[in-house]
Amino acid sequence: MIEVHNLTKRFGETTAVDDVSFTVLPGVVTGFLGPNGAGKTTTLRAIAGLHRPTAGTTLVNGKPLDQHEAPLRELGTLLDAGNLQPGRSARAHLAAIAATHGLPRTRVDEVMELAGIQEVGQRRAGTFSLGMRQRLGIAAALLGDPRTLILDEPINGLDPDGVIWVRKLLKHLAAEGRTVFLSSHLMSEMALTADHLVVIGRGRLIADAPLSDILTATSESRVAVRTPDTAALTAALVARGVTVTATAADSIEIVGMEAPEIADLAARLGARVYELTTHATSLEDAYLSLTESSVQYRAAAFTSA
Ligand SMILES: Nc1ncnc2c1ncn2[C@@H]1O[C@H](COP(=O)(O)OP(=O)(O)OP(=O)(O)O)[C@@H](O)[C@H]1O
């Protein structure tokens, strides 16, 4: 479990994290979202004991990390996959970490196999692609068989195979009862991986809720209807206070009424319905609406002039 209590971190004039509190529970995958510069990495580094908080506390499995006898057995981290000695082999890199922390050498082979890098164990880490470095970083995070894991952008640079591997691995680790907390900007992947989300913007907490709640609370689903009787159906829907938008000569989009109710209404009117599709809110839509006012770095909009 991770507990963040009233965490504030300032770097000179910049307040990177501003009085943030949340708890990350074991048994589920929790995603950490926020625009660039929102304070995600700073929060993760504070949890890992790499930043001293300006105010507030972070606890891992009930204690500050440095008060645990064997921190690597409590918390595994992937915070900077580029942080490697380039001349060292992957195996030597993992063996050095294992030796420093009194972990058995046999664990090195186990995690290399878990991460799918046993074939390249003898290669110098400096020759690794970003994806291979990510896998090596994840192997290192797993060395201590930790109860809690934090991973900053673990799928950055991974090929589709690698992305699916990380998704399955994280779900498996959570199902074993571990605490899994990861940041990512890839919303479609987050929607497939996370059960719970913590969202921050400009250093402040915006949301801390199950993924399903965030999807239903932030925006409404739309129902697209293809019918040659748009006029009759539109009039009946508008009379019931529903928002209707014409999208083509034979198509309308409806917000505020569910598909079965629309189908029943059309049947009563004798309106012919050729297609009826519910478009659920995507995590990307929900995220954009949640963080709308906290985006610091926004590019100029593209125009099609
Ligand atoms: N060591 C540091 N010294 C000074 N400012 C810092 C330092 N680390 C982070 N910051 C600033 O703190 C703010 C939060 O940065 P942080 O890296 O935590 O955001 P983030 O949410 O991880 O962003 P991104 O998605 O771009 O990685 C930014 O304004 C950043 O410039």
Q: What is the pLDDT of residue 304?
A: 47
CB distance 42 to ligand 1 below 6 Å: yes
Place 305 in a pLDDT band, splitting at 50, 70 and 90.
Answer: very low
Average the pLDDT over each of 9-23, 116-130, 230-244 and give the range with the smallest value: 116-130
Q: What is the pLDDT of residues 26-58, one digit of tens each?
A: 999 999 999 999 999 999 999 999 999 999 999
Q: Count CB atoms within 10 A of the CB of residue 14.
A: 11
In percent, the amount of the chain with pLDDT more than 90 equals 72
> Which tokens belong to 235?
């009039």
Q: What is the pLDDT of residues 190-232, one digit of tens each?
A: 999 999 999 999 999 999 999 988 888 776 778 999 999 999 9
Q: Is the dihedral of CA 31, 157, 10, 16 positive or negative?
A: negative
Instruction: Please work out whether the CB of residue 36 comes within 6 Å of at least one atom of ligand 1.
Output: yes
Q: Find the 55 Cα to ligand 1 centroid distance in Å.
A: 17
Lowest pLDDT segment from 108-112, 148-152, 296-300: 296-300
Read out DSSP for 16-80? EEEEEEEEE-TTSEEEEE--TTSSHHHHHHHHTTSS--SEEEEEETTB-GGGSSSHHHHEEEES-
Q: Whose CA is nearest to atom 6 of ligand 1?
A: 11
What atom in ligand 1 is closest to the CA of residue 35?
25
Please identify, by atom number, the ligand 1 atom nearest to the C-alpha of residue 51. Answer: 1
What is residue 108's predicted lDDT score, i.e. its pLDDT?
95
DSSP secondary structure letters along 127-193 = G--HHHHHHHHHHHHHTT--SEEEEESTTTT--HHHHHHHHHHHHHHHHTT-EEEEE-S-HHHHHHH
Sorted by where each begins, the domain ranges of the chain are 2-208, 220-280
At 242, list the tokens.
């529903």
Binding site membership of 38 for ligand 1 (Cβ less than 6 Å): yes
DSSP for 80-131 reads -TT-S-TTSBHHHHHHHHHHHTT--THHHHHHHHHTT-GGGTTSBGGG--HH
Please give the angle made by the CA atoms of 170, 172 and 173, to the nearest 5 degrees.
Answer: 65
**Is the distance from the beta carbon of residue 49 to the nearest atom of ligand 1 less than 6 Å?**
no
Distance between CA atoms of 162 and 153, rounded to whole angstroms? Answer: 13
Contact 218, 290 (CB under 8 A): yes
CATH class of 220-280: alpha beta
Q: Is the CB of 14 under 6 A from ligand 1?
A: yes
Q: Give me the interface pTM, i.e. the ipTM.
A: 0.97
Q: Write the residue with the smallest CA distance to atom 27 of ligand 1.
A: 36
Given strand 14-24, what is the order of strands in its sheet?
A: 14-24, 2-11, 55-60
Can you say how many angstroms the Cα of residue 227 is from the centroid of all Cα atoms in its chain? 39
- β-bridge mates for residue 149, sequence order: 76, 180
Please write down the HEC assignment for all residues of 216-281.
HHHCCCEEEEECCCHHHHHHHHHHCCCEEEEEECCEEEEECCCHHHHHHHHHHHCCCCCEEEEECC
pLDDT (0 to 100) of residue 130:
84
Query: Percentage of the chain surpassing pLDDT 70?
Result: 95
Average pLDDT for the chain = 91
The predicted-structure confidence for 9-28, as pLDDT tens digits, reads as follows 999 999 999 999 999 999 99
Spacing, Cα 276 to ligand 1 middle (Å): 45
Q: What average pLDDT does this structure show over 260-278?
A: 96
Q: Give the pLDDT of residue 8.
A: 98
pTM score: 0.86
Residue 154: which of 100, 98, 126, 115 has the closest Cα?
115
C-beta 16 within 6 A of ligand 1: yes
Top mean-pLDDT range of 148-152, 160-164, 254-258: 148-152
Q: Which pLDDT does position 204 carry in this prediction?
A: 96
Can you tell me whether residue 207 is helix, strand or coil?
Answer: strand
Confidence band of 246 (pLDDT split at 50, 70, 90): very high
Task: Name the residue with the closest Cα to ligand 1, atom 7.
Answer: 11
Task: Give residue 295's identity as a one-letter amino acid code.
Answer: V
Query: For residue 302, what pLDDT band results from cuts at 50, 70 and 90?
Result: low
- Write down the pLDDT at residue 221: 78
**Cα 39 to ligand 1 centroid, rounded to whole Å:** 6
| CATH number of the domain located at residue range(s) 2-208 in this protein | 3.40.50.300
